[in-house]
Amino acid sequence: FFSPFALSARSSHKLKRTQGHPCLPRTFRTSRTPKHLDHFNCTPATRTSDIDFEDTSRPEKSLPRRVFDLAWPLVLLSLANSQQPIGDVNVKRSEEEWREVLSPEAYKVLRRRGTERAGASPLDKLYDDGIFKCAGCGSPLFDSPAKFDSGTGWPSFSEPLPDTVDHTLQLLYCIGDLGAREVRCRQCGGHLGHVFSDGPPPTGRRYCINGAALSFEARGSKAQSPSAGARGER
């Protein structure tokens, strides 16, 4: 049977035995090294003085080196997200002209390489028979049988129409998928979205396309859907 007072006395006795050891905090310092702490190799000099734990083995970095350490990740990110030129295109307009003919959301996606919010486009749930065209130039891009529900919130296709899109290497998207590429309209160079290698058979591709970059034309009709990205007649 041990009373609280007895336990307190025993604890106080232990503190007094080890009080003052140099390898312990100041409240535990002692002029005598306990046997169970002999492996610290504390010399008599260290027993009577504080221990300096400051690491002086690494010299302080110079200002240019600190700037370099901060800048290089941003440079790599910029290079990884850079856009290669698509080459010669058939439809050319100045940026001011693009602003005039495109809606703000379509301009953000097609010309500024933006990404619309998932589920924002009504074309994501549209499975009517027809052709999906570029909202910038009207070039046919995807046939409706190639469209499938990917569950991502963006219109998804297993393959484009032949010779309609350009696949551009974009290192940022290759981090998680070596087969990922940026997808752009071959006629006007507008950014459409990206293609990934996790699609359904037989192609195994998932063309994840922004709805703002597309317009829809029903089969046998010349009228485009109201979700087209143009402001009016081009």
pLDDT tens sequence for the chain (234 residues) = 444 444 444 444 444 444 444 444 444 444 455 555 455 555 554 444 455 555 556 677 787 777 767 765 665 555 545 555 556 788 999 999 999 999 999 999 999 999 999 999 999 999 999 999 999 999 999 999 999 999 999 999 999 999 999 988 767 666 677 778 899 999 999 999 999 999 999 999 999 999 999 999 999 876 555 455 555 443
Specify the amino acid at residue 39: H
Q: What is the pLDDT of residue 144?
A: 98
- Residue 116 and residue 200 in contact, taking contact as beta carbons nearer than 8 Å: no
Q: What is the pLDDT of residue 24?
A: 43
Q: What is the pLDDT of residue 233?
A: 41
- Residue 33 and residue 19 in contact, taking contact as beta carbons nearer than 8 Å: no
Q: Please tell me which residue in 134, 137, 185, 208 is annotated as part of the active site.
A: 208
Q: What is the pLDDT of residue 91?
A: 92
- Residue 197 and residue 97 in contact, taking contact as beta carbons nearer than 8 Å: no
What is the pTM for the complete model shown? Answer: 0.62
Ordered DSSP codes for 197-215 = S---TTTT-EEEE-GGGEE
Superfamily of domain 95-218: Peptide methionine sulfoxide reductase. (2.170.150.20)
- Residue 212 and residue 204 in contact, taking contact as beta carbons nearer than 8 Å: no
Q: What is the pLDDT of residue 67?
A: 73
Give the closest residue to 123 by CA, choosing from 89, 153, 167, 81. Answer: 153
Strand partners, 179: none
Q: What is the pLDDT of residue 29?
A: 46
CA 140 to CA 219: how far, in whole Å? 12
Query: Which residue in this structure is represented by tokens 């300096």?
Result: 52
Q: Where are the domains of the chain?
A: 4-47, 95-218
188 is catalytic: no
Q: What is the pLDDT of residue 87?
A: 63
Q: What is the pLDDT of residue 119?
A: 95
CA 185 to CA 213: how far, in whole Å? 10
Give the closest residue to 213 by CA, choosing from 160, 151, 145. Answer: 160
Helix/strand/coil for 189: coil
Give the number of other Cβ atoms within 10 Å of residue 214's Cβ.
31
